[in-house]
Amino acid sequence: EADIYQTPRYLVIGTGKKITLECSQTMGHDKMYWYQQDPGMELHLIHYSYGVNSTEKGDLSSESTVSRIRTEHFPLTLESARPSHTSQYLCASSELGDRNTEAFFGQGTRLTVV
Amino acid sequence: DAKTTQPNSMESNEEEPVHLPCNHSTISGTDYIHWYRQLPSQGPEYVIHGLTSNVNNRMASLAIAEDRKSSTLILHRATLRDAAVYYCILTGRRDDKIIFGKGTRLHILP
């Protein structure tokens, strides 16, 4: 059973607001990821981290930012939400190691900016 | 990152085996082959992974070609709950990112 949690599950917010999407995992995984997915479309990697104080941009450019102050926590922040940010955001984690273990995904946050 | 190629969609009848192909002709010797699936309105979930030998688990089997340039995910007896998008992904070095392609949308017919 995956122990990775995202909150909130759904968020409707007005343009210009600052928002933080939470992602926490209790598995002690070093690698964490954020993906963005529009309905019926593929997942795009927007941020990833290999451990505390490590953050990298993904393949899809995003106006969001992330932080990794604690191993278990990888929040994503939008300083000023816009309707173009409306999407589903998925967080994942996996071990860092040569065994190439699987990634575990949260249930996602569906964000709507009005 | 090495790339994979999968059919956009496939159909199968319920209770029959399903073979989902994946081509990865540029795979390197240290790349693992991973399969994930995404059920409707859910996050992706891990299915299976392998390096060189065929692999079996409770969800599926993974058949890897001898030259490793292709692989096949086998669902032995499809159910309606197996309708999902299936992704074939290569991951190499320990710090590799997990990059998803378009995957194969599997439709199960009752």
Q: State pLDDT tens for residues A78-107.
A: 999 999 999 999 999 998 776 667 899 999
Report the alpha-carbon angle B47-A5-A10, nearest 5. Answer: 105
Residues of A in contact with B91 (CB under 8 A): 100
pLDDT of residue A59: 86
pLDDT of residue A2: 63
Residues of A in contact with B95 (CB under 8 A): 50, 96
Pairing of strands B104-109, B9-13: parallel
Q: Judge whether A42 is closer than 8 Å to chain B, CB to CB.
A: yes
Task: Give the one of B42, B95, B102 whose C-beta lies nearest to A50's C-beta.
Answer: B95
pLDDT of residue A98: 62
Beta bridge partners of A73: A24, A70
Residues of chain B with pLDDT under 70: 1-2, 94-95
What phi, psi does B27 have (nearest 5°)?
A: -60, 140
- The Cα–Cα gap between B27 and B92 comes to 9
Count of helices and strands (H, E) across chain A: 0, 11
Q: Judge whether A55 is closer than 8 Å to chain B, CB to CB.
A: no
User: What's the pLDDT tens digit per position in A28-37?
Assistant: 999 999 999 9
